[in-house]
């Protein structure tokens, strides 16, 4: 029984970290219909900024998180205006080629500017160490990641479903020409959504850095994981992504505990099975 | 008179082209991509050696030609090796970070009449694929065997081994198991985890549940190591008194700043620590740090490359700059010298380097940086892996 609880809490923590990092990609792919392979690159930029602010400038974790999100968005604005705007509504292959190119550029720049070594983000004092839950110990940072995941999920769900901006966004996604005709400034809606997605990527990069350490190849190394979460969850669906992360986290963690030598076999088996049954993902909408 | 001077000049020009050759050395390594840091270390070691010893052997000038192979890719490695031999006419091949890359090139050495000096690739079996291979790095068997004795002597009788599921990981698992059971201990469980593991909490839980007193781990350096060591601390294994043993790949110097306090006290065995105390090492570290640009990026492949250059210089000396692979390899068999890592020699039979293996503990140096502090020396260790494979 103890083992079951133990696996459950590991699965929850891992799933939530996955969620925080991947949800931004779900927004760009589902709501903006852009296959943004540079998502990991933005997460990495966030991680680097947080590391620089917290470790080299010594400004503390909270400042680092805010700086990472804000500066990454500022960096992304010219990229959106100059590059992404051209690929909205283009065929997927064009989008893939463009965004993977951006990823390679960012990897090269990061390698040159920050060096090839691992960068860590020193945690705030209250987040360090671990707590005893009675049946096992878990690092406080994991609990923090779980809370962050829940907060992000709730916030996004509220913004998309309950605010007027959410209505405009959904309208622009469903039929951009019609929305524009009705007075929705789709360009601005897209720009804001893109900024939010990039901000979430940066936030995820920082919060997840304990599990996925920041180094130049971060951008490519974890891309498959992000894409799997989005495709299993159904692009653009917040509850879908949440369920997908918890499910995949649980399968991966259980498999790793009981049969580590099978590697990621169970993880990908589950992915194949889910995609066979739900080709558009767990909560994907039919076009 | 004019004619004589002209003749003399012509003779001089002719003779100098006849004797002062440019000898090309082809170096294959990961100079871009995820392992670029290790390639940078190759270059730093080579540059350091040439800065200290000049770029001439006799009257021959040494020229290094670098070829980039970002990840383990045997086909590409073979193509690069052929290109270097046929087109660039290199007389020596060197470098090779990954075992498969080295193995892909060894079959063409004889035909090309070119010796190969391996500066990293650490699988025992490479040496058997060609008599023209010499290695100046280490093998996983060589560095993992002494830690078994250390663990047993520390009073640990039951150990669980956790390795990444790939060649060197399996080598490490076997080497530790062989050494530890020979000493009288018991390996209660051997876990192999996929290379692409990010979350190590479940593994830590399994280590706890196994009832072992210590854990032996081998993972490739970089992000996985960081995650593993963090999980070891966060899940209370360190607090529970479960001891941590590993070969030194896990605590390579360039990763230590990122590992930070989490790594303090971890015991590893390895052939080289940047903090090794000797005049030779001081000279080497100064020169290599200058070559790489940032001392914090210096790591073990640099010393493999530095000693590899030493071997190549000796080969060129012995052959007088002529291309004779067999004679060159023959000349360095049994060669012994004082490397930055301590006294070393080339074992005449296996052509692998015999060297001291050091037990080290991660500690804070006097200047506040983290170092691998050497606490014990296992002298003149050969490669037990070759014997085990027989």
Q: What is the pLDDT of residues B305-341, one digit of tens each?
A: 999 999 999 999 999 888 899 999 999 999 999 999 9
Between CA B2 and CA B25 the distance in angstroms is 41
Q: Is the pLDDT of residue B347 over 90?
A: yes
More confident residue, B118 or B297: B118
pLDDT, position A53: 92
Same domain membership, residue B344 and residue B205: no
Residue B19 has pLDDT above 60, yes or no: no
Mean pLDDT of the residues in chain A: 87
Report chain B's C-alpha Rg in angstroms: 22
pLDDT band at residue B1, thresholds of 50, 70 and 90?
low
* Whether CATH 1.10.3470 fits A2-277: yes
Q: Which chain A positions have a beta carbon within 8 Å of B36's beta carbon?
A: 111, 116
Mean pLDDT of A205-232: 88
Cross-chain CB nearest to B165 (options A120, A136, A261): A261
Report the distance separating Cα A283 and Cα A266, nearest Å: 21
Q: HSE (CB half, 13 Å, CA atoms) of B136?
A: 34
Q: Are residues B290 and B250 in the same domain?
A: no
Q: Identify the burial level of B79 via C-beta atoms within 10 angstroms of its C-beta, where 0-12 means exposed, 13-18 middle and 19 or more buried.
A: middle
Q: Domains of chain A: which residue ranges? A: 2-277
Domain check: are B127 and B112 in the same one? Answer: yes
Question: CA A70, CA A56: separation in Å to the nearest integer?
Answer: 18
- Mean pLDDT to the nearest integer, A5-17: 87
More confident residue, B104 or A123: B104
Token match 């979350």: residue? B199
Per-residue confidence (pLDDT) for residue B235, from 0 to 100: 84
Q: Say if residue B5's pLDDT is above 80.
A: no
Residue B68 predicted with pLDDT over 80: yes
Instruction: Tell whether A264 lies on the interface with B, counting CB pairs under 8 A.
Output: yes
Residue B160 pLDDT > 90? yes
* Range in A54-58, A235-239, B27-31, B380-384 the model is least confident about: A235-239
- B20 pLDDT exceeds 70? no
Q: CA–CA separation, B329 vs B351, rounded Å?
A: 8
Is some CB atom of chain B closer than 8 A to the CB atom of A13?
Answer: yes
The verdict on residue B1 lying in a domain is no
- Start-to-end C-alpha separation, chain B: 72
Q: Are residues B363 and B294 in the same domain?
A: no
pLDDT at A7: 84
DSSP for B41-57, please give it: HHHHHHHHHHHHH-SEE
3-state secondary structure of A137: strand
Interatomic CA distance for residues B141 and B216, integer angstroms: 14
- Distance, in Å, from the CA atom of B80 to the CA atom of B66, rounded to the nearest integer, reads 10
Counting every residue written for chain B, the total comes to: 390
CATH number of the domain enclosing B113: 3.40.50.2300
Residue A204 near residue A86 (C-beta atoms within 8 A): no
Q: Report d(CA A240, CA B278) in Å as an integer.
A: 60
Between CA A7 and CA B202 the distance in angstroms is: 7
User: What is the mean pLDDT of the segment spanning B213-223?
Assistant: 87
Spatial neighbors of A264 by CB under 8 A, at least 6 apart, are: A252, A255, B194, B196
Q: Is the CB of residue A260 less than 8 Å from the CB of residue A7?
A: no
Q: Are residues B233 and B369 in the same domain?
A: yes
Residue B18 has pLDDT above 50, yes or no: no
Query: Residues B257-285: pLDDT tens digits?
Result: 888 888 888 899 999 999 999 999 999 99
Q: Is the CB of residue B295 less than 8 Å away from at least one CB of chain A?
A: no
Quick check: A281 and A231 in contact, CB under 8 A?
yes
Domain contains B379: yes
How far is the first Cα of chain A from the last one, in angstroms, to the nearest whole number? 44
B16 has a pLDDT exceeding 50: no
* Residue B92 domain-assigned (yes or no): yes
Tell me the pLDDT of chain B averaged across its residues.
Answer: 89
Name the phi and psi angles at A283, rounded to 5.
Answer: -125, 25
| A-chain residues near B199 (CB < 8 A) | 10, 14, 17, 211, 252-253, 256
Q: pTM for the whole thing?
A: 0.79
Percent of chain B whose pLDDT exceeds 90: 61
Across the range B136-160, mean pLDDT stands at 92
Which of the two residues, B389 and A110, has the higher pLDDT score? A110
B31, B97: one domain: yes
Mode of pairing for the β-strands spanning B243-247 and B267-270: parallel
- Tell me, yes or no, whether B133 and B257 share the same domain: no
With a pLDDT cut of 70, the percent of chain A lying above it is 99
Q: Which of residues 154-183 of B touch A (CB under 8 A)?
A: 165
Per-residue pLDDT, averaged over B62-72, amounts to 92
B60 and B30 co-located in one domain: yes
Report helix, strand or coil for B96: coil
Strand partners, A240: none
Q: Is there a contact between B192 and A261 if contact means CB atoms under 8 Å apart?
A: yes
- 3-state SS, chain A, equals CHHHHHHHHHHHHHHHHHHHHHHHHHHHHHHCCCCCCCHHHHHHHHHHHHHHHHHHCCCCHHHHHHHHHHHHHHHHHHHHHHHHHHHCCCCHHHHHHHHHHHHHHHHHHHHHHHCCCCECCCCCHHHCCEEECCCCEEEHHHHHHHHHHHHHHHHHHHHHHHCHHHHHHHHHHHCHHHHHHCCCCHHHHHHHHHHHHHHHHHHHHHHHHHCCCECCCHHHHCHHHHHHHHHHHCCCCHHHHHHHHHHHHHHHHHHHHHCHHHCCHHHHHHHHHHHHHCCCCCCCCCC
DSSP B241: T
For B273-282, letters b (16+ CB in 10 Å) and e give bbbbeeeebe
Q: Do residue B165 and residue B126 come from a single domain?
A: no
pLDDT interval class at B114 (50, 70, 90): very high
B2 in any annotated domain? no
Judged against a pLDDT cut of 70, whether residue B12 lies above it is answered with no
**Mean pLDDT of all residues in B157-176:** 90
Residues of A in contact with B196 (CB under 8 A): 263-264
Which secondary-structure segment (H or E) carries B236?
none
Which of A3-7, A92-96, A207-211, B55-59 has the lowest average pLDDT?
A: A3-7
Pairwise CA distance, residues B353 & B138, whole Å: 7
Question: Does A138 contact B239 at a Cβ distance shorter than 8 Å?
Answer: no
Confidence category of residue B390, pLDDT binned at 50, 70, 90: low
Number of domains in chain B: 2
Question: What is residue B100's three-state secondary structure?
Answer: helix
**Residue A60 phi, psi dihedral angles, 5° rounding:** 95, 160
Q: Which residue matches tokens 């082209």?
A: B17
Residue B44 backbone dihedrals phi, psi, to 5 degrees = -65, -40
Sign of CA dihedral B313, B318, B319, B325: negative
A130 touches chain B (CB under 8 A): yes
Size of interface A-B (CB pairs under 8 A): 107
Q: Report the pLDDT value the prediction gives residue A234, as an integer from 0 to 100.
A: 86
Q: Is B249 found in the same domain as B381? A: yes
Tell me, yes or no, whether B372 and B241 share the same domain. Answer: yes
pLDDT (0 to 100) of residue B7: 58
Do B304 and B231 lie in one domain? The reply is no
Write out the two tokens for B73: 């890719």
Q: Structural domain of residue B315, as residue ranges? A: 20-138+277-351
Q: Is residue B205 part of a domain?
A: yes
Residue among B389, B363, B336 nearest B139 (CA): B389
Q: Which residues of A touch B223 (CB under 8 A)?
A: 118, 212-213, 215, 221
| B258 chain-A contacts, CB cut-off 8 A | 117-120, 213
* CA A174 vs CA A29, A34, A282, B24, B121: distances in Å: 13, 14, 20, 63, 55
Helix (H) or strand (E) holding A86: helix A85-87
């Amino acid at each position: 029984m103890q083992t079951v609880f133990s696996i459950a809490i590991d699965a929850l923590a891992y799933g939530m970290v996955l969620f925080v990092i991947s949800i931004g990609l779900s927004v760009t792919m589902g709501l903006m219909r852009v296959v943004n392979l540079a998502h990991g690159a933005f997460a990495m930029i966030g991680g680097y900024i947080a590391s620089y602010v917290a470790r080299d400038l010594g400004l503390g974790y909270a400042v680092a998180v805010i700086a990472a999100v804000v500066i990454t968005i500022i960096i992304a604005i010219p990229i959106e205006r100059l590059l992404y705007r051209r690929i909205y509504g283009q065929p997927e292959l064009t989008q893939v080629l463009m965004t993977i190119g951006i990823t390679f550029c960012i990897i090269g720049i990061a390698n040159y500017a920050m060096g090839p070594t691992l960068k860590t983000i020193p945690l705030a004092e209250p987040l360090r160490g671990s707590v005893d839950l009675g049946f096992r110990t878990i690092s406080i940072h994991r609990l923090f990641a779980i809370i962050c995941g829940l907060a992000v999920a709730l916030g996004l769900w509220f913004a998309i479903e309950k605010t007027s901006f959410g209505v405009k966004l959904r309208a622009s996604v469903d039929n951009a020409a019609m929305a524009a005709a009705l007075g929705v400034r789709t360009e601005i809606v897209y720009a804001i959504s893109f900024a939010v997605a990039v901000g979430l990527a940066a936030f995820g990069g920082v919060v997840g850095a304990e599990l996925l350490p920041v180094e130049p190849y971060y951008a490519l190394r974890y891309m498959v994981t992000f894409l799997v979460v989005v495709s299993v969850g159904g692009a653009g669906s917040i509850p879908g992504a949440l369920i997908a992360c918890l499910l995949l986290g649980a399968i991966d963690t259980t498999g790793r505990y009981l049969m580590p030598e099978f590697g990621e076999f169970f993880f990908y088996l589950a992915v194949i099975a889910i995609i066979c049954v739900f080709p558009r993902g767990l909560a994907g909408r039919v076009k | 008179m004019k004619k004589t001077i002209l003749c003399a000049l012509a003779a001089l020009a002719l003779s100098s082209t006849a004797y002062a050759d440019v000898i090309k050395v082809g170096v294959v390594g990961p100079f871009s991509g995820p392992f670029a840091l290790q390639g940078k270390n190759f270059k730093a070691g080579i540059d350091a050696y040439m800065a200290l010893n000049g770029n001439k052997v006799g009257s021959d000038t040494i020229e290094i030609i670098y070829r980039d192979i970002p990840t383990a890719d045997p086909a590409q490695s073979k193509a690069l090796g052929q290109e270097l031999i046929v087109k660039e006419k290199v007389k020596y091949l060197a470098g090779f970070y990954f075992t498969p890359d080295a193995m892909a090139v060894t079959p063409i050495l004889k035909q090309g009449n070119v010796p190969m000096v391996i500066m990293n690739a650490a699988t025992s079996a490479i040496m058997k694929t060609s008599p023209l291979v010499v290695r100046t790095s280490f093998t996983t068997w060589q560095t993992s065997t002494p830690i078994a004795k250390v663990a047993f002597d520390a009073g640990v009788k039951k150990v669980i081994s956790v390795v990444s599921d790939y060649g060197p990981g399996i080598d490490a698992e076997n080497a530790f198991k062989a050494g530890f059971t020979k000493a009288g201990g018991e390996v209660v469980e051997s876990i192999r985890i996929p290379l692409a593991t990010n979350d190590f909490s479940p593994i830590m839980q399994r280590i706890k549940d196994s009832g072992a007193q210590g854990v032996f781990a081998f993972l490739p350096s970089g992000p996985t190591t960081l995650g593993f060591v963090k999980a070891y601390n966060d899940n209370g294994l360190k607090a529970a008194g479960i001891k941590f043993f590993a070969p030194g790949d896990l605590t390579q110097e360039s990763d230590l700043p990122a590992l930070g306090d989490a790594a303090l006290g971890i015991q590893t065995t390895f052939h080289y620590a940047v903090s090794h105390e000797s005049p030779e090492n001081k000279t080497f570290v100064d020169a290599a740090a200058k070559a790489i640009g940032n001392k914090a990026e210096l790591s073990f492949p640099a010393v493999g490359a530095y000693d590899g250059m030493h071997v190549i210089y000796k080969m060129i000396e012995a052959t007088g700059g002529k291309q004779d692979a067999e004679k060159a390899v023959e000349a360095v068999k049994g060669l012994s010298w004082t490397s930055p890592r301590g006294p070393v020699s080339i074992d005449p039979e296996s052509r692998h380097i015999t060297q001291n293996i050091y037990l080290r503990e991660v500690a804070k140096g006097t200047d506040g940086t983290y170092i691998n502090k050497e606490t014990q020396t296992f002298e003149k260790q050969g490669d037990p892996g070759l014997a085990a494979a027989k």
